[in-house]
Amino acid sequence: MALLYSLCCVSFSALVIVALYVSPVVSTSRRVLGDYGKLENGFRVTLKHVDSSKNLTKWERIQRGIKRGNHRLQRLNAMVLAASGDSAEVQAPIVAGNGEFLMDLSIGTPTNSYSAILDTGSDLIWTQCKPCTQCFDQSTSIFDPQKSSTFTKLSCLSDLCEALPQSTCSDGSCEYLYTYGDYSSTQGVMATETFKFDSVSVPNIGFGCGEDNEGDGFSQGAGLVGLGRGPLSLVSQLKEPKFSYCLAAMDETQKSLLLMGSIASANESLGEMRTTPLIRNPSQPSFYYLSLQGITVGSTRLPIKESTFALEDNGSGGVIIDSGTTITYLEQAAFSVLKKAFILEMKLPVDTLSSTGLDLCFTLPSGSTQVEVPKLVFHFNGADLDLPAENYMIADSSSGVICLAMGGSSGMSIFGNVQQQNMLVVHDLEKETVSFIQTQCQNI
């Protein structure tokens, strides 16, 4: 089984797929917290890709994302090694960190606007704070807690302080340290503040006020907003068991979207919903693990043992769905089988000369206006996800190549954001499921 894709409208240094314009999403009504601390209707926030404001081609954005994804994969592997006891030197608990999309929010009273990295692979919410002993450059002013009337330091005995992977107590206040797999870190005091998302003001959000923030990758935003499964994350603190996102293709004109609370539910009018259970990993409780049972390329179910993607007793292996990793990474044995299948199905010469950062590329036929690519289906438990070609094949006509947007990994597998683009992805923590609806983000 194969699909035909037109190349007639592809400009030099562009992707095969022409992106659709997505208009910005703006809430038309103000929402407030209900009596029990839960959002009455939830809220929606537009997201932008971390490279959207840079003068880059789509192909350049993909390549930059792949480099960040490789670093993120190293961090995740470091976390797994530390948790399984296979790491010889671990000075502090390691978390994932960084991401590919930014969300706008405001902090404090009076409010100060910031742009923070959204990360479904970690929990802590944090921003840079004065006085800074070590801070990276950011486009907005650094948050000054002394100028906010709603800033309150957290006690060492608070639940959020106890939920930190590493904390100390100083004069009764909770101080934190978050260390990332590439030795980046954030360190400061834990506090509560009023956060504003779109038109929704939420008091008493626990966050890290980072006074010592070091390492690469943070400078795209003023901090991070964790959306993991742990108690420190935004979704946990809002007491909302449901959130969803729609990630648009990498294009200057497109906007992605995050929905929190009741409005995050899947709208059946958007299309068919495919739902798969979430799996818990006690050694990595923040991650969203899925059960991947197999992969089909063309019309052939690949000869990959289901145990290849299984979560091991020591917490290693398994498959996570992650918005902060650009491409999908499969355990190397599975990726090797997938790679061979694509070479057989594509019927194009394999490109071995171009430096794309991707493992498998093919030479585009000279003067061709169409390329035939095999269908790709991910068989999750209870959900067969038939991906559109633009979600796994990318092309650069200036280099004359078309590439598979996937790679190999050792241990953990990751279902990345290119594979999720133009889908409403609904995380339901009460039912412990993830649902997919293929749609255009502008339709939500």
Q: Supply the residues annotated as catalytic.
A: 119, 322
Contacts of 163 (CB under 8 A, 6+ apart): 123, 230, 231, 232
Contacts of 335 (CB under 8 A, 6+ apart): 329, 359, 406, 407, 408, 409
The DSSP 8-state label assigned to residue 443 in this structure reads G
Alpha carbon of 176 to those of 98, 121, 191, 328, 332: distances in Å?
18, 18, 10, 32, 36
**Strand (E) positions, 62-128?**
94-95, 101-107, 112-119, 126-128
Query: In 305-401, which residue ranges form alpha helices assigned H by DSSP?
Result: 332-346
The token pair at 360 is 């498998």
Find out whether 251 and 49 touch, Cβ atoms under 8 Å. Answer: no
Q: What's the CA gap between 35 and 43, in Å, rounded?
A: 17
The DSSP 8-state label assigned to residue 6 in this structure reads E
The token pair at 20 is 């659709």
Q: Return the amino acid letter for 396.
A: D
Alpha carbon of 289 to those of 313, 317, 427, 434: distances in Å?
14, 10, 11, 10
The radius of gyration of the chain's CA atoms, rounded to the nearest angstrom, is 22
- Three-class secondary structure of residue 260 per DSSP: strand
Nearest to 209 by CA among 235, 185, 190: 190
Nearest to 406 by CA among 334, 352, 348: 334
Q: What's the CA gap between 118 and 128, in Å, rounded?
A: 15
Dihedral angle over CA of 266, 327, 346, 305, nearest 10: -80
Q: Return the amino acid letter for 415.
A: F
| Class of residue 249 by CB neighbours under 10 A (exposed 0-12, middle 13-18, buried 19+) | buried
